[in-house]
A and B are shown apart, each in its own frame.
Chain A
Amino acid sequence: DTAVSQTPKYLVTQMGNDKSIKCEQNLGHDTMYWYKQDSKKFLKIMFSYNNKELIINETVPNRFSPKSPDKAHLNLHINSLELGDSAVYFCASSDWGSGNTIYFGEGSWLTVV
């Protein structure tokens, strides 16, 4: 069983559309994240949730809205997609606490055309 799974893996969509990426973890972790990886492989945190509460909200356009219905799920909804949103989006999870490993999903490759 995949520990952190996200869907879809590949998504090609037109500018202006609204899309969602779903993430689920079966590790029993209490903290989940969304990271964005740009074309140069740079990884930047977008959001972090602990026990369904938003903990980290970096400087991200408000077109991006995370939703955590329960501790095991953290979905990412993106409104009015722009060309610059093209990237790989990684979901991740961990247990809260120093030294705990963050486990990543396989990524969702978003291409906006």
Chain B
Amino acid sequence: GDSVTQMEGPVTLSEEAFLTINCTYTATGYPSLFWYVQYPGEGLQLLLKATKADDKGSNKGFEATYRKETTSFHLEKGSVQVSDSAVYFCALLTLDGYQKVTFGIGTKLQVIP
């Protein structure tokens, strides 16, 4: 079945450091890929998405590129801020008779001043 493998956290970085959160997937067909963010005590918000190979999703300084050859969708940001502290979920959406989103385990990011 479909699966998403995401690096386990927590990840602790200093402000302005470079962020990478790795995400790889296994899926049949051609899934769409997403990154969601969950701030403390809140629901999930879409951060960015990519729907086909080589697409780059970007938002709020975060980027991720859909790499079909390596089945990856790594999240990057050049300079993190304290306000980026949250849990980040990589997810894939397949449409094979029914629509289903599969999430990774979530990576907690803590940015310290």
The reply to whether B43 and A101 form a contact with Cβ atoms under 8 Å apart is no
State which residues 25-64 of A face B: CB under 8 Å: 31, 33, 40-45, 48, 50, 55-56
Report how far A45 CA is from B28 CA in the complex, Å. Answer: 18
Shortest CB-to-CB span from A3 to chain B, Å, is 10
Q: A42-B105, A43-B106, A45-B100 are in contact. Are A97 and B46 (CB under 8 A)?
A: no
Contact of A97 among B89, B95, B105 (CB under 8 A): B95
The reply to whether B100 and A56 form a contact with Cβ atoms under 8 Å apart is yes
CB-CB under 8 A from A99, the residues of chain B are 32, 49, 51, 93
The reply to whether A101 and B105 form a contact with Cβ atoms under 8 Å apart is no
B87: Cβ under 8 A from any A Cβ:
yes
Shortest CB-to-CB span from B90 to chain A, Å, is 11
B69: Cβ under 8 A from any A Cβ:
no
Closest to A6 in B: B43
Closest to B106 in A: A41
Closest to A40 in B: B105
B103: Cβ under 8 A from any A Cβ:
yes
B44: Cβ under 8 A from any A Cβ:
yes
Q: On chain B, which size bracket covers the interface? A: 20 to 34
State which residues 86-112 of B face A: CB under 8 Å: 87, 89, 93, 95, 98-103, 105-106, 108
Contact of B99 among A40, A94, A104, A107 (CB under 8 A): A94
Report how far A10 CA is from B61 CA in the complex, Å. Answer: 33
Shortest CB-to-CB span from B73 to chain A, Å, is 14
The reply to whether A103 and B106 form a contact with Cβ atoms under 8 Å apart is no
CB-CB under 8 A from A66, the residues of chain B are none
B34: Cβ under 8 A from any A Cβ:
yes
Provide a sorted-by-A list of 25 A–B residue pairs whose CB atoms are within 8 angstroms: A31-B99, A41-B38, A41-B87, A41-B108, A43-B103, A44-B103, A45-B100, A45-B101, A45-B102, A50-B98, A90-B43, A90-B44, A97-B99, A98-B32, A100-B93, A101-B34, A101-B49, A102-B34, A102-B46, A102-B93, A103-B46, A104-B43, A104-B44, A106-B43, A107-B42
